[in-house]
Chain A
Amino acid sequence: MTHPEMNELYELYVLNVLEPEQAREIDEHLRDGCAYCNEHLAQAMSVAAALSGLAEEHEAPAHLRRRVLAAVKPEIRGRQWTLAIAALSAACAALLLIVLWTGVSLRSSRARVAALETERRQLTETVEILSRSDTRAVEFGKAEEPHGRVFVNRNHGVVFVGSSLPQIASDRTFQLWLIPAQGAPESAGVFRPNAAGEFVQVRTEPVDLTRIHAVAVSVEPPGGSPAPTTKPVLIVPLG
């Protein structure tokens, strides 16, 4: 196909409605860095956007503006979370000192100290992710369905928080996965919601956001699986 023949196809390509064999030809040009195709695609993007004018105009309901604005303030809520978790973290540290001070048996103290230390470390890491300005927050779901937020920081990890996941058998657990565009999902740990159905799962390793496009949750045997063994009950795109 020559460039003049392609001239009438760029808009259809942009709209993703071109016949596959024609789309493949344009794909090849773009892969080769074809300047002509890039320039015409830019124009086609504008023409395609102008097709939005085909829609009959409707006034959006007044409450929708408030709803949208409320939905995009995770950072503010994140700061509230940060304060709450920081307070909790401080309480854990205080408890740690109390445990040491009261001089209960050395063995049980050590076990409790270790557990508290683990919890404190996780809370600290959570605070780190939630408080950073370059953390991306993605909201998912809605009331009465699995809903919550994913906080992702490319250098510090992922905090996955929410509620209303489906009930699972007592011998099963939820497992969080990071889903790359290509390749196998990566485990981000197992978790079980609390009695109220709420859950928090933290993974404190850097996340390559150029590669990871979504997080997902599947139901797995206790301890988790090396790869998902069931269809995900939830997928949250990060884009």
Chain B
Amino acid sequence: MPRKQTPDSEIVEKLRARDPEGIAAAYDRYGRIAYSIFLRITHDNAAAEDLVQELFLRVWNRARDFDASKGSLSVWILSIARNIGIDYARSAQSRFQNRLRPLDQTDPLAFSYQSKEPELFENAKSIREALSELTANQRQVLELAYFEGFSQSEIARKLQQPLGTVKSWMRSALGRLRAAMKTGVTE
């Protein structure tokens, strides 16, 4: 039976109070998507489980750094998840060595942004629709950037396509997604 979803504001409050119920609630809300991301990146169940554990340890240890006025919990957690996943994907070393991530990795909190975005999952339907309507090429370039961490020129080489073509696919794909998120906001 699915567990009751706790609102993000309550999760944050509990995490800040070092209440283990906070991490349980965060896991219930974001564990599945995190596991799906890591499985897509690693293609390895055991590695995906390790990375999920690493993600929630990091969320637990850094909960006091999270500032709700600067962005939603979903964006914060998914940004950390993606960083952890890309570190893994970029590493050619063993799984243990992979834990020794570069010290200069991008920190999702490095930007002092002031988000006026609603919760990511409030417009999940629009996002899903936009992603499902992408062409195969648009989807492929987004996947290579998001899950593999490839730049546009690396994608062009990998797909043996002109850089301009890859940029065009990427631009139109991200444009669709941006538009869908704006639509979701106004709904």
Q: Are the CB atoms of B147 and A39 closer together than 8 Å? A: no
Q: Are the CB atoms of B36 and A58 closer together than 8 Å? A: yes
Q: Are the CB atoms of B114 and A39 closer together than 8 Å? A: yes
With A15-B146, A38-B114, A46-B115 in contact, do A53 and B27 touch (Cβ < 8 Å)? no
Q: Are the CB atoms of A12 and B152 closer together than 8 Å? A: yes
Asked whether A55 is an interface residue with its Cβ less than 8 Å from the other chain, the reply is yes
How many residues does chain A have at the interface if contact means C-beta atoms less than 8 Å apart?
60
Q: Are the CB atoms of B153 and A19 closer together than 8 Å? A: yes
Asked whether A169 is an interface residue with its Cβ less than 8 Å from the other chain, the reply is no
- Cβ of B70 to closest chain A Cβ, rounded Å: 8
Q: Are the CB atoms of B20 and A38 closer together than 8 Å? A: no
Give Cα distance in the complex from A190 to B132, angstroms: 57
Asked whether A1 is an interface residue with its Cβ less than 8 Å from the other chain, the reply is no
With A19-B153, A42-B71, A45-B79 in contact, do A8 and B174 touch (Cβ < 8 Å)? yes
Secondary structure of the A contact surface, majority rule: mixed
- Nearest to B144 among chain A residues (CB) is A17
Give Cα distance in the complex from A145 to B98, angstroms: 13
Asked whether A235 is an interface residue with its Cβ less than 8 Å from the other chain, the reply is yes
Question: Which residues of chain B are near A46, meaning CB under 8 Å?
Answer: 71-72, 75, 115, 117, 120, 181
Give Cα distance in the complex from A69 to B74, angstroms: 19
18 sampled A-B residue pairs with Cβ under 8 A? A14-B79, A16-B149, A30-B111, A43-B178, A50-B177, A52-B33, A53-B131, A64-B35, A64-B52, A68-B27, A68-B53, A68-B56, A69-B27, A72-B57, A136-B61, A138-B57, A141-B99, A237-B103
Give chain B's interface residues, CB within 8 Å of chain A.
18, 20, 23-24, 27-28, 31-37, 39-40, 45, 49-50, 52-53, 56-58, 60-62, 70-72, 74-75, 78-79, 81-82, 86, 96, 99-101, 103-104, 106-108, 111-117, 120, 124, 127-128, 131, 139, 142-143, 145-147, 149-153, 170-171, 174-175, 177-178, 181
